[in-house]
Homo-oligomer: A and B are copies of this chain.
Amino acid sequence: MKQLAIIGFGAFGRLAASQLAGRFAIGVHDVQVAEAEVRSAGFAPQSLKDAAASDIILVAVPVQAMEQVLADVGRHVRPGATVIDVASVKMLPSEWLSRHIPDSAHIVATHPLFGPQSAVRGLEGRQLVICPIRGDRHLKVAALGEALGLRVRITSAEEHDREMAYVQALTHLIGRSLAQMRIPDEMLKTQTYQHLLDLTGLIGNDSFELFTAIQTLNPYAPEVVEEFVRRAGVLLDQVRR
């Protein structure tokens, strides 16, 4: 069995560990999580150096911390290893991976379009975006995704971020604004309002860290979300006249 190191034992790292247990010999590195907690979840805690020297290294840290972690990992990666990230934006992480992971290693950038909340009802049909960065191991990642029941789409980091400016940045801005307003579940409601309630329920609990990453680390996001806020303001001005 190949060694798979998961660096970052947050919500997504834990989901990956539980879904991939049995397919790999899993080690876990996270400086912010006690070793006892990793062990009680059934996994072996590792030092960064040992984790980075595994066959496959899955980096699942917040995007904001990622470049530093990749710089540290890069020093210990062995020739032929595969480094994979799971960040919600892809252009910047792809640059960081190319810069810090030695040429002798493979790089696969991915974005699983699901988290522990949506995975509760199973992984079947959930989407996995794969951006090949270096080498051909993205094909192995695609095969693994399919074996897990995921819908796999292989595309470029640019195309991913362009689409995600709408699919993520816009929906998260709307959902987070509505969650802050605590929009009520009214007695009289339309199908349309139910869409807003459902959207808010699905992403209202996401961390501010993720929200910030989606809005600021995707180069296409600011234009899309600012256009939305601007158009809403203009519409309100128009009706007041």
CB-CB under 8 A for A228 and B181, given A189-B167, A216-B240: yes
The contact of A196 among B129, B174, B191, B226, by CB within 8 Å, is B174
Q: Which residue of B lies closest to A127 (CB)?
A: B188
- B196 with A198: CB separation less than 8 A: no
Distance between A158 CB and nearest chain B CB, rounded to angstroms: 13
- B113 with A190: CB separation less than 8 A: yes
CB-CB under 8 A for A235 and B175, given A118-B191, A195-B199, A196-B170: no
Category for how many chain A residues contact B: 35 or more
- B203 with A186: CB separation less than 8 A: no
Q: What are the residues of chain B within 8 A of A176 when measuring CB–CB?
A: 235
Q: What are the residues of chain B within 8 A of A186 when measuring CB–CB?
A: 163, 166-167
Asked whether A164 is an interface residue with its Cβ less than 8 Å from the other chain, the reply is yes
- A236 with B232: CB separation less than 8 A: no
| A residues adjacent to B (C-beta < 8 A) | 113, 118, 127, 129, 153, 155, 160, 163-164, 166-168, 170-171, 173-178, 180-181, 183-184, 186-193, 195-196, 198-199, 202-203, 211-212, 215-216, 222, 224-229, 231-233, 235-236, 239-240
